[in-house]
Structure 1
């Protein structure tokens, strides 16, 4: 029984991510937890920490949240009726990241699936600030679904790696669990800096290959490209349905997404982005 957390702000953007989740796991027994955190902007984090319960003035927010969650649950059951799926709702006065971490602990969440907003106007932003913050602060496999993406089964999966991680079950199993119910090929992409692989990298590559021995997979190596360029160029050749990365604190992943120059990267995804932390939160 998969346990999947679906944060929502009741936007079409979050609905798109919910529909992705329902279709991705349509053949599996799942419990979906719809989470809405209501903490108006006037309430700062410090206030939330010292105030155990919302006061009467927040009742209107609570009632609206509960009402919208029930409407959303009904919409899911009507448009994607599935006897394998059950839906629970969570409405709480808290910040999003804090509550997501609470739910991971309390419910042993397997995946988080949430929407992302694209760049708007002159600002070059990879994802909405909420999504970036969750990617940084939450230790659970997360699939971020662009607001413009219409569901496609993940037939072609792109997995960029520098082979700088000693791969463990917890790193790869979340991906294998997805590919097990979908006809999928995993494309492992390495950007060669011209020095070849070290013994450590070679061992990690062989370990990765052993994990994928029962899956369809291909190794790819490119030179004279940045990771961003390699990903973009690969997508020109292959219709990729899912981008997968391990979020290792000292890997190129962090350099790619979490530096202060994030608004200058100009790197945008139009496919779902599956991020697996190398250190999972306790379940």
Structure 2
């Protein structure tokens, strides 16, 4: 089944790296990759991801379209998978509104966003494009990829998936996780941080069984950490096992405080040197 992948770009190295990561993940799959650029007509004010500046005689839209065409030409030299197709979207207006429109119009399966530097920083207090997209975008998962991350070889990998087992999941909410597990040859390590050192309730045990059923087609296992908070526990788990990717589930109400049942949003701060997959609650 063909996948539809949306990649916002500001024509930077880290945005290009996100595209290269996507090509590597889906190297054996039929995919349409949508290269998306948002712009504003007056000095690009407002929420956008452009590095371009208007020049005399060339409008913002022309600059945007020219940049996208240049990327298409760069991709024309890559013929690894003839089932990879590419389309471009030049959008005037808000980044998040443009991405949501593209998701709704084209039935996007996953958004890939490049992050500058070594880390994919996820924090609700940060006012940046990545946090805004994660917070506002509906019905589509987002994969944030640090600039320095590249895929090579077919070695075994693992994805860390923290949960408190207090809410259930729909299969389509986990599709991106299952896909990445399959395409990356990565086992899913479901991590429960037992912050209050209490036995799981009957409802939590039931949710654990349901999750195991949803993940039954892929390699997965369950793990528990105690005597630590969520952020520290997740970081320690990833570092100690040299895990390759972090998956987080975000419900519509709240950022990740709802995920971990924490009242203070700022206590949850993920700044990892691995890609972060944000799974979304589906309506």
Q: TM-score, normalised by structure 1?
A: 0.84
Q: Aligned-pair distance for 1:150?
A: 2.2
Deviations 1:129-153 (A, max 9, x none): 1000000001211101112222256
* Counterpart residue number, 1:52: none
Q: Aligned-pair distance for 1:278?
A: 1.3
Q: Aligned-pair distance for 1:181?
A: 2.8
Q: Partners in 2 of 1:4 and 1:234 — Cα distance?
A: 29
CA-based RMSD: 3.1
> Is the CA contact (8 Å cut-off) linking 1:10 and 1:68 kept in structure 2?
yes
Q: Partners in 2 of 1:125 and 1:105 — Cα distance?
A: 24
Distance change in 2, residues 1:260/1:91 (3 Å): farther
> Is the CA contact (8 Å cut-off) linking 1:248 and 1:254 kept in structure 2?
no
Alignment of 1:215-254 (within 5 A): 215-249=218-252, 253-254=256-257
**Worse overlay, 3-12 or 237-246:** 237-246
Q: Aligned-pair distance for 1:72?
A: 0.7
Distance change in 2, residues 1:171/1:125 (3 Å): closer
Decide which structure has greater helix share.
1
Q: Partners in 2 of 1:68 and 1:172 — Cα distance?
A: 34
Alignment of 1:37-116 (within 5 A): 37-39=38-40, 60-79=59-78, 81-116=80-115
Structure 2 residue runs without a partner (length 5+): 48-55
Q: Aligned-pair distance for 1:266?
A: 6.1
Q: Partners in 2 of 1:42 and 1:23 — Cα distance?
A: 35
Q: Partners in 1 of 2:122 and 2:248 — Cα distance?
A: 19
* Counterpart residue number, 2:51: none
* Counterpart residue number, 1:49: none
> Is the CA contact (8 Å cut-off) linking 2:250 and 2:259 kept in structure 1?
no
Deviations 1:227-282 (A, max 9, x none): 111111112221211111110246782368999975x86641111100111125xx
Q: Partners in 2 of 1:235 and 1:45 — Cα distance?
A: 36
> Is the CA contact (8 Å cut-off) linking 1:242 and 1:272 kept in structure 2?
yes
Structure 1 residue runs without a partner (length 5+): 47-56
Q: Aligned-pair distance for 1:73?
A: 1.3
Q: TM-score, normalised by structure 2?
A: 0.84
SS of 1:78's partner is coil
SS of 2:88's partner is strand
SS of 2:108's partner is coil
Alignment of 1:102-251 (within 5 A): 102-118=101-117, 126=123, 129-139=128-138, 140-151=140-151, 155-192=157-194, 193-249=196-252
Deviations 1:108-147 (A, max 9, x none): 1110001123599xxx985771000000001211101112
Q: Partners in 2 of 1:58 and 1:35 — Cα distance?
A: 23
Q: Aligned-pair distance for 1:80?
A: 5.5
Alignment of 1:266-277 (within 5 A): 267-277=270-280
Q: Partners in 2 of 1:277 and 1:91 — Cα distance?
A: 25
**Worse overlay, 22-31 or 235-244:** 235-244
Q: Partners in 2 of 1:58 and 1:276 — Cα distance?
A: 43
Q: Partners in 2 of 1:250 and 1:275 — Cα distance?
A: 14
Q: Aligned-pair distance for 1:21?
A: 0.6
Distance change in 2, residues 1:130/1:214 (3 Å): same
Q: Partners in 2 of 1:10 and 1:259 — Cα distance?
A: 38
